[in-house]
Structure 1
């Protein structure tokens, strides 16, 4: 059986954004993916709280580590069924909310 102990990799998102926003076109492309990045952030936080590796989540979902890696990257729109299975695998409930836009 593989070692499924979670070992976090240090990462500073703000530092990454500061460097990346200096590149032409990055801000527009990044901002267009805001919702996807928020979803990825929630997935990673849930997996971290659960203390699970991608391998462990994949095993619980009956899929592969590469599928979990794709799921945890922006630009891939997972199905609602996949999000439900991921939430269950990391010990969470899935809640979806539509929030009225602010009048502007």
Structure 2
């Protein structure tokens, strides 16, 4: 029952927000994998740690510019593509 509710909740999220959620999850996983603290990453990308924490918790929706800054901070590059609908 809980899984069904989660699936229903997730399916109601707009596609562009799903992209942001998925991207933040991957970036967060990369930060953890590389053992980079929130404080260290925040300093690397010119952001305050509490602001970074809000991004990771999706309490604040990041812009593409912010996603790219985060990606660069963990040694990655944001890559956006187009596909036919």
Alpha-carbon distance change, 30 to 21 in structure 1, aligned in 2, over 3 angstroms: same
Task: Give the 4+ runs in structure 1 shifted more than 4 A.
Answer: none
Matched length: 81
Corresponding residue of 1:70: 54
TM-score normalised by L of structure 1: 0.61
Q: Would you say the 8 A contact 2:71–2:78 is kept in 1?
A: yes
Rg larger in 1 or in 2?
1
Corresponding residue of 2:75: 91
1:21 aligns with 2:3: yes
Structure 2 unaligned spans of 5+? none
The offset of 1:58, in angstroms, is 0.6
Partners of 2:7 and 2:30 lie apart in 1 by 27
Structure 1 unaligned spans of 5+? 1-18
Compare the two structures and name the one with the higher helix fraction: 2
The offset of 1:75, in angstroms, is 6.2
The offset of 1:37, in angstroms, is 2.7
